[in-house]
Structure 1
Amino acid sequence: MTTDDIATTAEIARLARGTLLPSFPGATAPRWLLDELEAGLGGVTLFALVGNVPSQESLAALTAQMRKAGDPFVTIDEEGGDVTRLGGHATGSPYPGNAALGAVDDPELTRRVYRSLGAELAEVGVNLNFAPSVDVNTADDNPVIGTRSFGSDPELVARHGAAAVTGTQEAGVAACAKHFPGHGSTVEDSHLSIPLVDADLELLDRRELVPFRAAIAAGARAVMTGHLDLPAITGGVPATLSHAAITGLLRERLGYRGVIVTDALDMAGASGAIGIPEASVRALIAGADLLCLGSHEHAETVAATLDAIGEAVRTGRLSPGRLADAARRTARLREWLAGHAPAAVDRAAGLEAARRAVRVFGALPGWAGAPLVVETESTGNIAVGPTPWGLHPWAPDAVRADGAGAAYGAGGTVAGILDRAKGRGLVVVLRDAHRHAGQRALATALLTARPDTVVVEMGLPVWRPGSAVYLATYGAAAANAQAAAELLGLAPTG
């Protein structure tokens, strides 16, 4: 091997390393990660479920530790609402999610909420946020988007997506519009399979692509690809690995010039059949600039992926120019980040948005005392995770029951609930009841015996019992719950 060969190999390794966003467990950076950062690692993706965010103070210390070793992109999924990592995974987010903001339909308020959320991220050293979701949620039974979307109307999603991008970036944090070319029309979860989006280019142009165009026009510094099969465009290949989707559609048709980052490559929709190293190579060939590896992809995955990229260059599958192109884009993003000052945190914007989002159908009863609150069991999707939700912080004797009325505590059966509710009001809290037959059955049983039962829907208000007094919050964040609790007289206003 000649000196030139060694220099070329080292340069390829440096360029390849600069595309990677691995993860790590715990609240301190392990030695291998610090070594990789010193060698030019692109950055990291933080995940609450692997212990990266026990508190905002510890996160600030962690990001400071990493920046002593390199100049990483510190990325996170902080959408507000149901998908929250910045402390909200333990307590619920103080900011409502996109469905609530879309229900209010005040783009300036959306901008305020995202600017404040961005300010909180900047305070702890996060500089690239994987938000907003600009998916147009046209499938009611979508298992992974739902309240993460501003709505089902492309123009509404576009104006709020643009406002979210603007607000985030006013706080000095790069926004990342996702999940290109749009995850809202499918009933499959790309964590588990490759969802099919049955849309030709004409339909994409007037539906899915409308918000991406708006986000790009608003100056979005990053766009995230989705692991979605669009047969008319990608021919059976997920968009993340498709040159036609990334280079043809996003770069050439939409004219996007910023950084393209993949959704997590550990998801089955990307790597289920081929593995993460090969998925990484294919994503780079397709035109991606940064590779989010996944929540449990650490030193071993980094080493294997670097080997795979190096081999792809040696065999001619991947050109060094493609890696250099990615490096130029990420360098421009770092320059942009260095030139922005953070904004002020404005949590009042979150509660204002949650209060304005609530829709009340029927006249709320004037209870003499506190009502009995019944909270149904609702499994969150993989993206949401086990974030706390519900009205129990304001209802100490709340009953937890699954859709069949099975007890989570004393009095959890339908008969037991009715017995405990004698002489007092009754509230049943649902979450995406249209997706859970058991929730609908429980609510119906309670309403049959107690027509004065108040129904609170904390997901999408698709299913609504016709005779009930009904509240729709458009999300299950802490801010949404407080807004509902205030209207029900469980929490003081002010």
Structure 2
Amino acid sequence: MRNGGRTLVSIAAVAALGLALAPPAHAQAPPGKGRGCDVDAQLARMTDAEKVGQMVMVSTGAKPDGMPIDETRRAIQELKIGSTLTHEPENPAIAARYANQMQRWARDTRLGLPLLVSGDFEFGTTHNVREGTTPLPNAMGLGAARDPRLAREAAVITAAEARAMGFHWGYAPVADVNTNPANPIIGVRSFGERTDLVTDLVEAQVRTYNQAGLIATPKHFPGHGDTEFDSHLELPAVTYDRATLEKVHLPPFRSAIEAGADSIMTAHVVVKAIDPDLPATLSPKVLTGLLREEMGFDGLIVTDAMDMDAIDKNWGTRQATVMAVEAGADVIMSTGGFETHAEAVDALADALSDGSLSGERVNASVRRILGLKCKYKVGDHRYADPGTAEKVSGNKRFQRRALDMGLAATTLVRNDGDVLPFDPESDDRTLVAGAVQTQVFADQVAAVSDGPVETWQAATTDPTDAEIADAVKRAASADRILVATFSSKPLPAGQAKLVKALQATGKPVAALAIGLPYDLTSYPDVKAYIATYGTTARTQRIDLTMHKAAARVVFGEQPGGRLPVTIKGLYPYGHGLRY
């Protein structure tokens, strides 16, 4: 940060975190308080059905009013599940009320055990709660910022908002080293291509999450950064040797374990150097042999979503559920409907009944689950206060800090002929063109430019020749042009043609890669180029902070980022310009 010695984990953030962790005055104490964190005593009271229920984490659904559907109640009360992966609530107050309703349903079960409420928080709680929260840079943006203090502050903000909304468990940080530019699913979710960078930032965030009371979950073990296929759609395999695994991909996980990570998520990836036949999620060689025995991890192992095609199409829910636990997993992530959740629970119950899973093996997992609930005082912080959730989440201090992070992340890669910055006070007309999220970015441009801003967007991510001709026609009345490109793997040819056609107009043109930073290789002659790392692969989740920061850099604010990856043949790791 460019503010002298001022601490980045600000007093305001820590105060907000304390407010988030304070139980609301109306909250009821959980049943059995005082003995609820005697794990062995609790385990001794449990039936087999209650034990296997604790081992399944289910995704939840919402009614039109934002509250959980009856299938969620049935999963909690009939299947006796121990944790949930939230749906995407509209705002923090709804998220808090939603979590409270689930906890009340759990309270009314025989044992009254509190739920672990979880969510994907890779770029802050905005990842799951879209409105009223603080969007933070994706991991690759934090990698470009090169400052562990910013990574720590991002974790503090995330934890404060998550805990205020009733979450206890976050599926971050991403510990994958993105060594393959063609990786279609990790990309900007990774801190970068260098093991040391990823290791340092993973360690910083794990330690901070621990201190802030949110369960960190480094993922996807033992590494998803060198794959060429999306495990949501097919089963990837990596063929590098054991030495590469040890040198490149395992160090971030080793560092996370040393930093006290209490949970690690598996990868649906075949790592041939360890097990040539089974993906890590189902492999005893990976989860027990490598992670538990060789690396000494005794925390909780949670699978990635078991309905992803890499698993479901090859093994199916019942078989894969039992195989994952046999391999060493403690919690099965079930992201289908109620029938899928019931099938996962039934599969474990049947395996325990027929001896396929031993009672000792199941008890070991349940002990870890109950132990985490005790360690993170879930019973003491069982209910959230919707008012506090609204007050803490997305507050002005957090928003300002997020924008500072965004500016530190935004990377000016090329500026031949000083095309940038554009003058924000001129009356020049700016055309913002692109194929994804163009209006969102154009709105941020309009917020900092005194001149008029027009928007053009293609119908798909691969503009046609007719569309490109229309964009060029629209450019005739513009004084300057911004063209935003997006790719989750190699850039579609139409987007590269769009950039080249707009450049041929002779107007000042700056291109911005709003997803992966490699787009420049497809239009290498553009004179000005910015990488924002702001949009994730596949799901195209919008990171408003990065759009806002990029617009401000275009109009003169200082970019702070340096490339956390290599743009092959053009720019090395660590490259970044300033004005």
Alignment TM-score, normalising by the size of structure 1: 0.87
Q: Report the residue type matching 1:13 in the other structure.
A: A
Return the offset for 1:95: 0.6
Contact 2:218–2:253 (8 Å) recurs in 1:
yes
User: Runs in 1 of length 4+ with deviation above 6 angstroms?
Assistant: 339-345, 490-493
My pick for the range that moved more, 257-266 or 411-420, is: 411-420
Please give the per-residue CA displacement for 1:447-482, whole angstroms capped at 9, x wherever unaligned: 123362111111222232234111121223111111
Q: Write the distance in 1 (CA, Å) between the matches of 2:478 and 2:432.
A: 16
1:73 maps to 2:116: yes
- Residues 219-298 of structure 1 mapped to structure 2, 5 A cutoff: 219-294=260-335, 297-298=336-337
d(CA) in 2 for partners of 1:405, 1:199: 36
Task: Give the AA of the match of 1:373.
Answer: L
Residue in 2 aligned with 1:111?
Answer: 152
Q: Distance in 2 between matches of 1:441 and 1:247?
A: 50
Question: In the alignment, is the contact (CA less than 8 A) between 2:124 and 2:157 conserved in 1?
Answer: no
1:21/1:265 CA distance change after superposition, 3 Å: same
Distance 2:73 2:49 in 1: 17
Match of 1:305 among 337, 344, 347: 344
- Residue type of the partner of 2:73? L
Q: For residues 37-75 of structure 1, what are the alpha-carbon distances to aligned partners after superposition, in whole Å with 9 as ceiling and x for unaligned? A: 346411111232xxxx12211110010111123211111
Long gaps (5+) in structure 1: 1-7, 379-385
Question: CA–CA distance in 2 between the matches of 1:349 and 1:480?
Answer: 12
Residue 398 (structure 1) aligns with: 455
Tell me the CA shift for residue 286 of structure 1.
0.6
Code of the residue aligned with 2:479 in structure 1: it is R
Q: CA deviation at 1:34?
A: 3.0
Aligned equivalent of 1:447: 503
- 8 Å CA contact 1:266–1:276 kept in 2: the answer is yes
Task: Measure the CA separation in 2 of the matches of 1:165 and 1:370.
Answer: 46
Distance in 2, matches of 1:421 and 1:47, equals 45
Task: Map 1:415-454 onto structure 2 (within 5 A).
Answer: 415-432=470-487, 434-450=490-506, 452-454=508-510
Task: Specify the alignment match of 2:54 in structure 1.
Answer: 18
Match of 2:190 among 149, 174, 177: 149
> What are the Cα deviations for residues 355-392 of structure 1, in whole angstroms up to 9, with x where unaligned?
011122212154433543334225xxxxxxx9995334
How do residues 48-67 of structure 1 correspond to structure 2 at under 5 angstroms?
A: 48=88, 53-67=89-103
Give the structure 2 partner of residue 489 of structure 1: 555
Q: Report the count of equivalent residues.
A: 469
Q: Does the 8 Å CA contact 1:143/1:187 hold for their aligned counterparts? A: yes
Listed one character per residue, the Cα deviations across residues 17-54 of structure 1 (whole Å, up to 9, x for unaligned) are 11011123213233453354346411111232xxxx12
Q: 1:434 deviation in Å?
A: 4.0
User: Identity of counterpart residues, as a percentage?
Assistant: 31
Report if the CA contact (8 A) 1:431-1:457 is conserved. yes
Q: CA RMSD in A?
A: 3.0
Query: Which range is displaced more, 356-365 or 71-80?
Result: 356-365
> Given the superposition, is the C-alpha separation of residues 449 and 118 from structure 1 closer, same or farther in structure 2, using an over 3 Å criterion?
same
Unaligned runs of 5+ residues in structure 2 are 1-43, 107-113, 382-387, 447-452, 536-542, 560-579
Q: How has the CA–CA distance of structure 1 residues 373 and 42 changed in structure 2, closer, same or farther, with 3 Å as cutoff?
A: farther
Once structures 1 and 2 are overlaid, which stretch shifts more, 465-474 or 276-285? 465-474
Would the aligned equivalents of 2:305 and 2:333 in 1 still touch at CA under 8 Å? Answer: yes
Instruction: Please tell me whether the aligned partners of residues 175 and 199 of structure 2 are also in contact (alpha carbons under 8 angstroms).
Output: yes
Residue 414 (1) aligns with residue 455 (2): no
Q: Match of 1:68, SS?
A: helix
- Give the letter aligned to residue 20 of structure 1: V
State the partner residue of 2:408.
356
- The answer (yes or no) to whether the contact 2:137–2:406 under 8 Å persists in 1 is yes
Q: Is the 8 A contact 1:116 1:171 kept in 2?
A: no
The residue identity in structure 2 corresponding to 1:247 is T
Structure 1 residue 319 and structure 2 residue 358: aligned? yes
Matches within 5 A, 1:202-217: 202-217=243-258
Distance (whole Å) between structure 1 residues aligned to residue 461 and residue 116 of structure 2: 43
TM-score by length of 2: 0.75
